[in-house]
Structure 1
Amino acid sequence: METAATGLTFRDAEDADVDVLVALIESAYRGDASRAGWTTEADILEGQRIDPEGVRAVITAPGSRLLTVERDGAVVACCQLEHRGDHAYFGMFAVSPALQGGGLGKMIIAEAERAVRATWGVDAMHMTVISVREDLIAWYERRGYRRTGRMTPFPYGDERFGIPQRDDLRFELLVKPLG
């Protein structure tokens, strides 16, 4: 789907996109490149954020989409959408660090919410965010997401998810009713 007003094209990721998407997600969350944007996790996690197998799994899983966002033919953002009964799960959200802070994220999350209502008829979006990421949680709260206080442990020892630089990492569930 293309939106003329924004110059963005939204489409489902394909196998040919895997390497570009891995690079995008890594650039948004890890290493010095991620520090150009405000979503970096470089101070709390080192190592990888995702690998090609993880991206491919999202692309091919039933009831799952990896929404890919292009501007002028270049991939600039993505997010995972997964159908989970009466709600959808939103994850793997990455915006190119050079484009962060300009409203692109707001447009993408609005399109993701529209898409899950239209495609799956769900009435809520769920996501998990590392609980120490207060600035990111506040951004999602401004978009209508609410903290639940429901925590799940961070997968310490599984380097597929990064190498923690602190011992207090947990995921908090955020929820937004979709009207």
Structure 2
Amino acid sequence: MDTPAPALTFRDATDGDVDALVALIESAYRGESSRAGWTTEADILEGRRTDAEGVLEVVKSPDSRLLIVERGDRIVACCQLEHRGDHAYFGMFAVSPTLQGAGLGKTVIEEAERQARATWGVTEMHMTVISVRDDLIAWYERRGYSRTGRMTPFPYGDERFGIPLRDDLRFELLVKKLA
């Protein structure tokens, strides 16, 4: 008889979680390990996705929360929530590549939306997605997010965001009204 997987728990990140979070985020988006999931950016960007300094900045910011999702004693997902007046920004979203495609991401984003409403009373969630990520944008659209057509340039030359493998990268703002 199979033992059921431990329940998911959600909590705010602490300084002690930073290294594990960097490893999770990198594994979900960059390098060969990211190819085990479907959210990889390995074909459009090389280099790093984040670093300890960037993650710690989110953990320490008074207007942000870095929500950790654990199954048992293992961090399996995370996301950033940042309070920006009447809306929250959703970012730094990562799900362990070996767990992608089984509904965990949907559960995480629903909980993030719930917590943003409950904590800050916001009426919208905003995020930016690399505009060439059609499969990822379609996934967010199925979760109720709308494309706005509002683009911001990709920071070419700033290796903190990765090393682009193509010259047409931009960020598109996606927005969802929260009930």
Q: What is the CA deviation profile of residues 48-81 of structure 1, one whole-angstrom value per residue up to 9, with x for unaligned ones?
A: 0000000000000111000000001100000000
How far the C-alpha of 1:147 sits from its partner, in A, is 0.0
Gaps of 5+ in 2: none
What amino acid does structure 2 have at the position aligned with 1:144? G
Equivalent residue number for residue 137 of structure 1? 137
TM-score of the pair, normalised by structure 2: 0.97
| SS of structure 1 residue aligned to 2:48 | coil
- Give the Cα–Cα distance (whole angstroms) in 2 for the partners of residues 167 and 78 of structure 1: 29
Deviation at 1:6, TM superposition (A): 7.3
Native 8 Å contact 2:6 2:72 kept in 1: no
Alignment partner, residue 108 of structure 2: 108
Separation in 2, partners of 1:147, 1:69: 27
Matched with 1:86 is 86
Matched, 1:30 2:30: yes
Provide Cα deviations, 1:93-136, integer angstroms capped at 9, x if missing partner: 00000000000000000000000000000000000000000000
Shift of 1:25: 0.1
One-letter code aligned to 1:53: E
Q: Secondary structure at the match of 1:35?
A: helix
Task: Supply the distance in 1 between the matched residues of 2:149 and 2:62 (Cα, whole angstroms).
Answer: 29
- Kindly report structure 1 stretches of 4+ aligned residues shifted beyond 2 Å: none
DSSP-derived class of the 2:81 partner: strand
CA distance in 2: counterparts of 1:156 and 1:125, whole angstroms: 26
Aligned residue for 1:122?
A: 122
State the distance in 1 between where 2:174 and 2:88 align: 12
Paired with 1:81 and 1:6, the residues of 2 have a C-alpha distance of 25
Q: Percent identity?
A: 80
Deviations 1:114-161 (A, max 9, x none): 000000000000000000000000000000000000000000000011
1:37 Cα shift?
0.1
Aligned residues: 175
Q: Distance in 2 between matches of 1:84 and 1:22?
A: 24
Partner of 1:40: 40
TM-score (norm 1): 0.97
Query: Secondary structure of 1:155's match?
Result: coil
The answer to whether structure 1 residue 72 and structure 2 residue 61 are counterparts is no
Structure 1 unaligned runs (5+)?
A: none
Is residue 49 of structure 2 the alignment partner of residue 49 of structure 1?
yes
CA RMSD for the aligned pairs? 1.0
Once residues 57 and 27 of structure 1 are traced to their aligned partners in structure 2, the CA distance between those partners, rounded to angstroms, is 20
Which aligned pairs between 1:58-69 and structure 2 lie closer than 5 A? 58-69=58-69
Residues 153, 169 of structure 2: 8 Å contact kept: yes
> 1:36, 1:96 → 2: CA distance?
9
Preserved CA contact (<8 Å) 2:12 2:66 = yes
Residue identity in the other structure for 1:90: F
